[in-house]
Structure 1
Amino acid sequence: MIALLMAAGVALACSLVGTRFLIVWLRQRGIGQPIHEDVPDAHKGKAGTPTMGGIAIVVGAVVGYLVAHTRQGLPFTASGLLLVGLIIGAGAVGMADDWIKISQERNLGLSKAAKSIGLLTVAVGFSVLAVTVTDVHTNLSFTRFDNFEDLDLGPVLWCVWAVLLIVGCTNAVNLTDGLDGLAGGSAIFGFAAFTVIAFWAFRNAGQAGALANYQIPDALDLAVVAAALVGSTTGFLWWNATPARIFMGDTGSLAIGGGLAGLALLLNTQLLLPIIGGLFVFETMSVIVQVAAFRAFGKRPFRMAPIHHHYEFAGWPQTTIIVRFWILAGLSTAIALGLYLADYIHLTGQ
């Protein structure tokens, strides 16, 4: 528990101070976010706001993770280091995208092909290493690795599934990152849930009988990564809350998405992820419905997608949308944790 508090506390402090430093440094160099012309009018005044604040999220999480390991008895593990590598890799792809946007002063960034290739490279690297250097189970799982004993995907299919999950999750968080603090605040709920799940698995490590179904050898190290992400994202949110002094950019949204997907894969909670990240699924589905309806019927069900923009055009204040969506994110996370606990109670008969 002390290691988790160290990781979260150090990451929070590092991100809090680091984000403030980034704001000053980026402003001095005139590095700001270009804005789409077709967004609601309230966004046009945000042009020039410093971006790439996700650097502070990634650096804060890494520093928190490293400092927590100064505590005696907490060794580095392959799973923990691989997850950190996924976060850094996804963040690096986002940073390249952000840099092109600000250097060319246009809100386009990397081409779709280049961005997809970058994310696929990171996702494939993570997936292959996960099945070769860690003890990850290759079963399709909900709350534990043996939820579906007959659905062992095997190394190859599991890698394909992992790549799809990582790419999907990174893009979902990226779509949600459209209002001040919306993606960051929602992600904190998800990382907190994975901290609880990973620590729960650690507490049950070495148990026999039904509890053996929760065995995750590197669970404590994964809990430390999740706690560090809670801290670093919270520190960034201090400056990103409305009115945002800085945006996380693709650097932050892709790193956050990679972190959520990686935790779900390594903690055997892949099918629980859509519930933990329910808001991100909601936002992504709004885009899918919008595109599908327009192509099929020539009509758009929403004024603009992702759906948070629809409510902006409907006249909702940004703060109202953000807080209500945070509530939805919190409720979906609570439901996910309730399902996790209910399965544990059912399994153990307690």
Structure 2
Amino acid sequence: MISILIAASVGLVVSILFTPYLIRLFSRQGFGQEIREEGPQGHRSKRGTPTMGGVAIIIAMVVGYFVAHIVDWLRGSTNDGPTASGLLVLFLAVALGIVGFLDDFIKIRKQRNLGLNKTAKTVGQLVVGITFAVLVVQFADANGLTPASQNLSYVRDLALIYFPLPVFVIFCVVVISAWSNVVNFTDGLDGLAGGAAAMVLATYVVISFWQARLSCAETPQAACYQVRDPLDLAVVAAAAAAGCVGFLWWNAAPAKIFMGDTGSLALGGLVAGLAMTTRTELLAIVIGGLFVVEGMSVVAQIAVFRTTRRRLFRMAPFHHHFELAGWAETTVIIRFWLLAAICCLFGLGLFYSEQLSVAGG
């Protein structure tokens, strides 16, 4: 528990203090956001706002994680230090953040709202996803547990659905690509993605800590969680959640900096990595329900337009639909945050109810 608190404290402080430095640095370099011409008219005033602020979240997460382990070591803790699960999830988030950084940098240099072309961006996500997929089923511990399982999972592995390695690699790539893209779609209003991501990550702190408390060494086999390094995953999630909160201090409306694809792709990868390493891929759809709905609104808009030549929403992702319907930006943000909180609480409720049913059954 102390490691989680240290990671969160350090992540929060680093993010709050480092983000203003990035604002000044990026402003001097002219690293300003380009705005979609077809977007809401009210967003035109945001042109030139510094972007790539996701760098602060990534650094806060990494520093918070390693400082927590250094303090553990200095305290003479019996913890074994960084684990395969924690390091792999960090790798996934940082690597996708680098892909996003390249995308943002090209947008800035070419002064357009399109960075990496679709092929280059897809290749980047593919390379990262395949690398993660191959590594995450290696590094078995003394109990034979690897960081992720080749079974599909809800709260625990579903024994009937097992993926051979080639299929599992494809599954991982799809999950990682889907989560990184839906978080990216949600990042369209000041603080919307950052606030929602903080809630989802905080939920994973609770879930991972819960799983650590119900380890198979102390809990009957039927009721315990077959997760390799749950406590270390809680440390990663805590550092990242706090990093989002610290960044939100500067990113809340009116934003002084945007996270850009650097932050949104990293956070999407982080959610995907936590979902797979905690064996909650299906539950994550509920916990991150706001992101899922935002992504579905884009898919639905494209599908309806291609088949009927009419628009389902005034604009997608559908947070812009409400803006164009006359809602103030802050109203959309707060109401969507409430929806994100409801999804997280509902996901926690499902997690807890499943544990009760197993323990009581």
**TM-score, with length taken from structure 2:** 0.94
Q: Equivalences for 1:118-133 in 2 at 5 Å?
A: 118-133=124-139
CA distance in 2, matches of 1:283, 1:149: 31
Structure 2 residue 174 is the aligned partner of structure 1 residue 164: yes
Partner of 1:182: 192
Partner of 1:14: 14
Name the SS for the 1:17 alignment partner. Answer: helix
Shift of 1:211: 4.8
Structure 2 residue 314 is the aligned partner of structure 1 residue 303: yes
Partner of 2:97: 91
Structure 2 residue 305 is the aligned partner of structure 1 residue 314: no
One-letter amino acid matched to 2:11: A
Shift of 1:76: 1.1
CA distance in 2, matches of 1:338, 1:160: 30
Relative distance call for 1:207 and 1:160 in structure 2 (3 A) is farther
Q: Equivalences for 1:1-350 in 2 at 5 Å?
A: 1-70=1-70, 71=72, 72-74=77-79, 75-134=81-140, 135=146, 136-145=148-157, 148-205=158-215, 206-211=217-222, 213-349=224-360
Gaps of 5+ in 2: 141-145
Whether the 8 Å CA contact 2:223–2:359 is kept in 1: the answer is no
CA distance in 2, matches of 1:230, 1:20: 19
Superposed CA RMSD in Å reads: 1.1
CA distance in 2, matches of 1:99, 1:208: 50
Gaps of 5+ in 1: none
Name the SS for the 2:264 alignment partner. Answer: helix
Structure 1's consecutive aligned runs of 4 or more residues displaced over 6 angstroms after TM superposition are none
CA distance in 2, matches of 1:137, 1:295: 38
**TM-score, with length taken from structure 1:** 0.97
Name the SS for the 1:109 alignment partner. Answer: coil
Percentage of pairs with the same residue: 49
CA distance in 2, matches of 1:221, 1:208: 19
Whether the 8 Å CA contact 2:12–2:243 is kept in 1: the answer is yes
One-letter amino acid matched to 1:306: P
CA distance in 1, matches of 2:287, 2:303: 25
Alignment size in residue pairs: 348
The CA deviation string for residues 110-150 of structure 1, in whole angstroms up to 9 with x for no partner, is 000000000111111011000122512211110012xx211
